[in-house]
Amino acid sequence: MDMTGNDFIEILTNETYKTKTFEAADQATINLDELFTDVEKEAAASEVFSDALVINEEEPIIFRIEASLINLPLRYTNAIRKIVVNDEAKEMSLYMIVEHPLVTKSHLLIKKASSVQSFLDDPTSVEEKITSFFNEQLAQINANKIAAAEEERAAAEQAATTENQ
Protein backbone atom coordinates (compact mmCIF):
# COMPACT_ATOMS: atom_id res chain seq x y z
CA MET A 1 0.00 0.00 0.00
CA ASP A 2 1.62 3.21 -1.21
CA MET A 3 0.46 6.78 -0.66
CA THR A 4 1.75 10.26 -1.45
CA GLY A 5 2.41 12.72 1.34
CA ASN A 6 -0.30 15.08 0.09
CA ASP A 7 -2.92 12.31 -0.09
CA PHE A 8 -1.99 11.29 3.44
CA ILE A 9 -2.27 14.89 4.68
CA GLU A 10 -5.71 15.20 3.08
CA ILE A 11 -6.94 12.07 4.88
CA LEU A 12 -5.61 13.33 8.22
CA THR A 13 -6.88 16.88 7.77
CA ASN A 14 -10.37 15.71 6.80
CA GLU A 15 -10.27 13.01 9.50
CA THR A 16 -11.45 10.40 7.00
CA TYR A 17 -9.30 7.65 8.50
CA LYS A 18 -10.83 4.84 10.51
CA THR A 19 -10.54 4.67 14.29
CA LYS A 20 -11.66 1.90 16.58
CA THR A 21 -11.19 1.47 20.32
CA PHE A 22 -11.21 -1.78 22.24
CA GLU A 23 -11.26 -1.87 26.03
CA ALA A 24 -9.93 -4.14 28.75
CA ALA A 25 -11.06 -3.72 32.35
CA ASP A 26 -7.54 -4.48 33.58
CA GLN A 27 -4.34 -6.23 32.55
CA ALA A 28 -5.80 -9.67 33.30
CA THR A 29 -8.56 -9.23 30.70
CA ILE A 30 -6.46 -8.09 27.72
CA ASN A 31 -7.49 -9.82 24.50
CA LEU A 32 -5.70 -8.81 21.31
CA ASP A 33 -7.76 -11.04 18.99
CA GLU A 34 -10.45 -8.44 18.23
CA LEU A 35 -7.80 -5.77 17.72
CA PHE A 36 -5.87 -7.97 15.28
CA THR A 37 -9.06 -8.91 13.41
CA ASP A 38 -9.81 -5.23 12.83
CA VAL A 39 -6.19 -4.43 11.87
CA GLU A 40 -6.32 -7.24 9.28
CA LYS A 41 -9.62 -5.91 7.90
CA GLU A 42 -8.44 -2.29 7.64
CA ALA A 43 -5.03 -3.23 6.20
CA ALA A 44 -6.67 -5.44 3.57
CA ALA A 45 -8.96 -2.53 2.63
CA SER A 46 -5.88 -0.28 2.21
CA GLU A 47 -7.20 2.11 4.83
CA VAL A 48 -5.37 4.61 6.97
CA PHE A 49 -6.45 3.65 10.47
CA SER A 50 -5.80 3.89 14.17
CA ASP A 51 -6.91 0.99 16.36
CA ALA A 52 -6.50 1.35 20.11
CA LEU A 53 -6.67 -0.97 23.08
CA VAL A 54 -7.33 0.93 26.30
CA ILE A 55 -6.55 -0.83 29.56
CA ASN A 56 -8.75 0.90 32.12
CA GLU A 57 -6.56 1.26 35.16
CA GLU A 58 -6.10 4.22 37.52
CA GLU A 59 -3.85 5.68 34.82
CA PRO A 60 -5.06 4.10 31.54
CA ILE A 61 -2.53 2.30 29.34
CA ILE A 62 -3.18 2.83 25.64
CA PHE A 63 -1.79 0.51 22.96
CA ARG A 64 -2.32 1.62 19.35
CA ILE A 65 -1.66 0.15 15.96
CA GLU A 66 -1.71 2.75 13.21
CA ALA A 67 -1.20 2.65 9.45
CA SER A 68 0.90 5.68 8.61
CA LEU A 69 3.64 7.11 6.42
CA ILE A 70 5.82 8.16 9.39
CA ASN A 71 6.36 7.25 13.00
CA LEU A 72 4.15 9.89 14.59
CA PRO A 73 0.64 9.36 15.95
CA LEU A 74 -2.00 10.25 13.35
CA ARG A 75 -3.42 12.90 15.69
CA TYR A 76 -0.20 14.95 15.21
CA THR A 77 -1.56 16.29 11.92
CA ASN A 78 0.34 19.61 11.95
CA ALA A 79 3.73 17.98 12.54
CA ILE A 80 3.02 15.28 9.96
CA ARG A 81 1.95 17.89 7.41
CA LYS A 82 5.33 19.66 7.69
CA ILE A 83 7.26 16.42 7.22
CA VAL A 84 5.43 14.65 4.38
CA VAL A 85 4.12 17.55 2.28
CA ASN A 86 4.85 16.93 -1.43
CA ASP A 87 6.45 13.54 -0.70
CA GLU A 88 6.36 11.03 -3.53
CA ALA A 89 4.30 7.88 -3.04
CA LYS A 90 5.87 5.58 -0.50
CA GLU A 91 4.94 2.45 1.35
CA MET A 92 2.60 2.69 4.34
CA SER A 93 3.71 1.01 7.54
CA LEU A 94 2.13 -0.28 10.72
CA TYR A 95 3.34 1.44 13.87
CA MET A 96 2.96 0.20 17.44
CA ILE A 97 2.33 2.99 19.93
CA VAL A 98 2.21 2.84 23.72
CA GLU A 99 0.93 5.77 25.76
CA HIS A 100 1.36 5.94 29.54
CA PRO A 101 3.25 8.28 31.92
CA LEU A 102 5.60 5.46 32.94
CA VAL A 103 6.55 4.20 29.46
CA THR A 104 8.98 7.05 28.64
CA LYS A 105 9.53 10.65 29.76
CA SER A 106 7.41 11.78 26.82
CA HIS A 107 4.66 9.31 27.86
CA LEU A 108 4.81 7.91 24.32
CA LEU A 109 6.73 5.11 22.63
CA ILE A 110 6.48 4.34 18.90
CA LYS A 111 8.04 1.49 16.97
CA LYS A 112 7.51 0.20 13.44
CA ALA A 113 5.92 -3.26 13.31
CA SER A 114 6.20 -3.78 9.54
CA SER A 115 5.06 -2.42 6.23
CA VAL A 116 1.36 -2.87 5.60
CA GLN A 117 2.20 -5.23 2.71
CA SER A 118 4.47 -7.39 4.88
CA PHE A 119 1.66 -7.60 7.41
CA LEU A 120 -0.79 -8.70 4.72
CA ASP A 121 1.71 -11.28 3.45
CA ASP A 122 2.33 -12.78 6.90
CA PRO A 123 -0.05 -11.43 9.55
CA THR A 124 0.77 -14.14 12.10
CA SER A 125 4.45 -13.25 12.47
CA VAL A 126 3.73 -9.50 12.62
CA GLU A 127 0.98 -10.08 15.20
CA GLU A 128 3.49 -12.09 17.26
CA LYS A 129 5.94 -9.17 17.03
CA ILE A 130 3.21 -6.73 18.12
CA THR A 131 2.15 -8.98 21.01
CA SER A 132 5.75 -9.30 22.16
CA PHE A 133 6.26 -5.53 21.99
CA PHE A 134 3.08 -4.81 23.94
CA ASN A 135 3.99 -7.43 26.57
CA GLU A 136 7.48 -5.94 26.96
CA GLN A 137 6.08 -2.44 27.37
CA LEU A 138 3.43 -3.61 29.83
CA ALA A 139 6.14 -5.32 31.89
CA GLN A 140 8.23 -2.14 31.82
CA ILE A 141 5.27 0.00 32.91
CA ASN A 142 4.56 -2.43 35.76
CA ALA A 143 8.22 -2.40 36.84
CA ASN A 144 8.19 1.41 36.74
CA LYS A 145 5.01 1.45 38.87
CA ILE A 146 6.73 -0.70 41.51
CA ALA A 147 9.84 1.49 41.43
CA ALA A 148 7.75 4.66 41.76
CA ALA A 149 5.82 3.18 44.71
CA GLU A 150 9.09 2.20 46.41
CA GLU A 151 10.50 5.69 45.86
CA GLU A 152 7.34 7.20 47.39
CA ARG A 153 7.56 4.88 50.38
CA ALA A 154 11.26 5.66 50.89
CA ALA A 155 10.58 9.41 50.65
CA ALA A 156 7.73 9.09 53.18
CA GLU A 157 9.99 7.14 55.55
CA GLN A 158 12.73 9.74 55.13
CA ALA A 159 10.26 12.55 55.85
CA ALA A 160 8.97 10.73 58.95
CA THR A 161 12.52 10.13 60.19
CA THR A 162 13.47 13.77 59.61
CA GLU A 163 10.30 14.93 61.36
CA ASN A 164 10.98 12.77 64.45
CA GLN A 165 14.51 14.11 64.95
**Verdict on whether the full-model pTM lies above 0.75:** yes
Amino acid identity at 43: A
- Residue 165 predicted with pLDDT over 70: no
- Residue 159 predicted with pLDDT over 90: no
Mean pLDDT of 108-127: 96
**First and final CA of the chain: distance in angstroms?**
68
Domain boundaries, the chain: 2-164
Q: What pLDDT was estimated at residue 161? A: 76
Three-state secondary structure call for residue 56: coil
